Chains A and B, each alone.
Chain A
Amino acid sequence: MIRWLKLILKSSLSNSLRAVADESIFETRSKQFARNYWIGSCLITQSLNHSDMADPLIVTRGLTKVYRMESYTVAALREVSLEIAAGEFVAVMGPSGSGKSTFMNLLGCLDTPTGGDYYLAGDKASELSGDALAAIRNHRIGFVFQNFNLLPRTSALENVELPLLYAHVSAQERRSRALARLADVGLAERADHHPAQLSGGQQQRVAIARALVNDPVLILADEPTGALDSRTSFEVMGLLQQLNRGGMTVVLVTHERDIAAFASRAVSFRDGRVVSDERIAQPADAQAMLGALEVAAA
């Protein structure tokens, strides 16, 4: 108990400046988020030092995915057992064909495993029906894709509103919540721009706003910087780091070590198995690197 208090004190000291900044950015967010934020702040420090004490958000037990071709079978994922605590920032790495994408798709409830169990926030997702999985994707998970996957010829605002449309939220509330999320990613004044009128970095920020709009518990980012230059990559990673500091659990798939360095934990896959799982003691700070880039440019 004393240790807990010490931890909280420590975290509030070390993060006090940032916390103030985060608060101002996310002051429009719901109460739930505010709660997550404080819990999250605690969990970050916890997970750095005492991950075994954390409440796991994601649990996989012997998760397996086998693709059946006509004449042979391919095991894309072989009995992966992993736990990810709420508030972690995990980078999933590995060469192509290692199973990292398959793992992501299963975490995102976009695909169903052929074996093993997957629990997300206590729900056994590996046993749910298609409609229930759709509800989980809608309410619990926010996706960020490599190629942004924004609807063309549709305004940024309407793109961000999309998850709320399927959550049966009223038009008025959709609009106000989507505008708030766009403001969070610094694109409030571009709400009526179409994707084609936005830069790659801006498009990815719209996609992040869309991922956040229904207050998920997990952000799944699949190579979110794959189509961006280093400057905008830092921007996007900075945004993800900021979210994570606010308590959001982020799982990031990447094959670049530089990008994985922004995470607090790196899990490597090879041939459908986890080959390494390590903490990153000192994650790189994307905001600082962006600042350095600007100094260099000046």
Chain B
Amino acid sequence: MTWLASIRIALRALRVNKLRSILTMLGIIIGVAAVITMIAVGAGAQAKVEDQIKSLGSNLIILLPGSVTSGGARMGAGSRSSLTEDDAYAIQREIADVQAAAPALRGIGQVVTGNNNWSTVFFGITPEYFEARNWVVASGKGFEPTDIAGSGKVVLLGETVARNLFGDSDPIGQVVRVLKVPMQVIGTLERKGQSLMGQDQDDVILMPISTARNRVLGGNTAKQRSVRSISIKIREGANMAESENEMRRLLRQRHHLQSGQEDDFTLRNLSEVLGAREESSRVMTLLLAAVASVSLLVGGIGIMNIMLVSVTERTREIGLRMAVGARGRDILSQFLVEAVTLALIGGLCGVVLGVGGSYAIGHFAGWRIKINIEAVTLAAGFAAVIGVFFGFYPARKASRLLPIDALRYE
């Protein structure tokens, strides 16, 4: 008997009990749809994390000054002022895989305009900072080279700061006082949203590094060129660890450190922290998929149940088929094909429902979803496997009937 004939017989048998077939399929439909939807939602969340990492720069290394030991108490990373702007330029110049090395000064202070004020973080930066930290000017313009070199009294406002100080009105051209120093707003920054640590990345203002040093923070002549951090972006595809080692060697040499001496700086690689974060969202996706596959399993048991009923109901038919020459394996394949057909039709309906459901969730809940072709294929394939697995026992039971017992069955 050909497969086509078997499938035709199966479809006919399934049509006889339409409602029963549909209810049986429903188990598989729900299972497959649940798996696809859960994976879509999970993968969407994962993609969101990946995007956050990208917005921060996955290939970002942050260089901080080392700690000061004062009377036996170590003061923590960044308490020393051992890093200078020139270190940043040297890194940029001498390490091949460095795309951008951006020195920055950091301060916290009150920003005032008219009768409004807001406390925020400000960074004194060079143009490389935009590239290294993925900042984009949303409106207005960026810093001119003259601003950077000549302590221009200009600032760029983060989205949160702009909203808190100016509300809906346009901040460009307005004057704000940062720690009592009046400066002109020349532009706003594109929104970045929360960082993975939950901080508002848009609660920030940027100004030229010279402005921050000379006008706002107050120059410390001894440490004229010292900076608070250097953000280094490594080129896509380059070896991070190797670049880090090169950087460490270069800085030790520049800082005249002996071989026994500790580093007077700290290198931080953010991708490790974020990698862990990504891993946890992947585990979450797997967990969701596992829970959803339980319903697929339950659907499979439904198929087995209905196939057992079907075999009992059609015992006489089996007897007749055997009487006209069907072998055990013909009967086995007939019922197996029937179970698989049931599961596959259910699986395909489940795929349609799952994909549709995922888009609906994405649309109405506003969640990000990501439909994964592999997951869809896997779920549909799994449905077929379930058909074979749960259809086998009833089919074998049917094939092992003795012809005469089956024919005489009441």
Which A positions have Cβ atoms within 8 angstroms of B? 105, 108-111, 130-131, 134-135, 137-139, 143, 145, 149, 151, 153-154, 162-163, 165-168, 171, 210, 214
Contact = CB atoms under 8 A, between A and B. Distances in A.
A111 B321 CA distance: 15
Interface string B363-403: 00000000000000000000000000000000000000011
Contacts of A135: 325, 327
Contact of B12 (A153, A165, A166): A153
Contacts of A163: 324-325
Given A108-B323, A110-B402, 5 more contacts: A110-B407, A137-B323, A138-B324, A149-B316, A151-B320
Contact of A139 (B319, B325, B403, B404): B325
B152 interface: no
B333 to A, nearest CB: 11
A166 B323 contact: no
Contacts of A145: 407
B322 interface: yes
B347 interface: no
Contacts of B328: 130-131, 134
Contacts of B317: 151
B1 interface: yes
B10 to A, nearest CB: 13
Interface of B is mostly: helix
Contacts of A143: 323-324
Given A149-B316, A149-B320, A111 B403 contact: yes
Contacts of A134: 322, 325-328, 330
B73 interface: no
Contacts of B323: 108, 110, 137, 143, 149
Interface in B1-56: 1, 5, 12, 16
A138 B12 contact: no
Given A110-B403, A139-B325, A153-B16, A166 B320 contact: no
A111 B325 CA distance: 14
Interface in B318-342: 319-330
A167 B317 CA distance: 18
A147 to B, nearest CB: 9
Contact of B327 (A105, A153, A166): A166
A149 B325 contact: no
B209 to A, nearest CB: 84
Contacts of B12: 153-154
A166 B325 contact: yes
A67 to B, nearest CB: 11
B404 A162 contact: no
Given A149-B316, A149-B320, A153-B12, A110 B404 contact: yes
Contacts of B403: 109-111, 137
B324 A168 contact: no
A135 to B, nearest CB: 7
Nearest to A222: B407
In order of increasing CB-CB distance, the 3 nearest A-B pairs are A138-B325, A166-B325, A163-B324
12 contacts: A110-B323, A131-B329, A134-B327, A134-B328, A149-B319, A149-B323, A153-B12, A153-B16, A163-B325, A165-B5, A166-B327, A167-B325
Interface centre among B12, B320, B330, B402 (most CB of A within 10 A): B320
Contacts of A109: 403
B70 to A, nearest CB: 93
Nearest to A140: B325
A214 B325 contact: yes
B194 to A, nearest CB: 63
Contacts of B325: 134-135, 137-139, 163, 166-167, 214
B5 A137 contact: no
A105 B404 contact: yes
A121 to B, nearest CB: 16
A165 B16 CA distance: 21
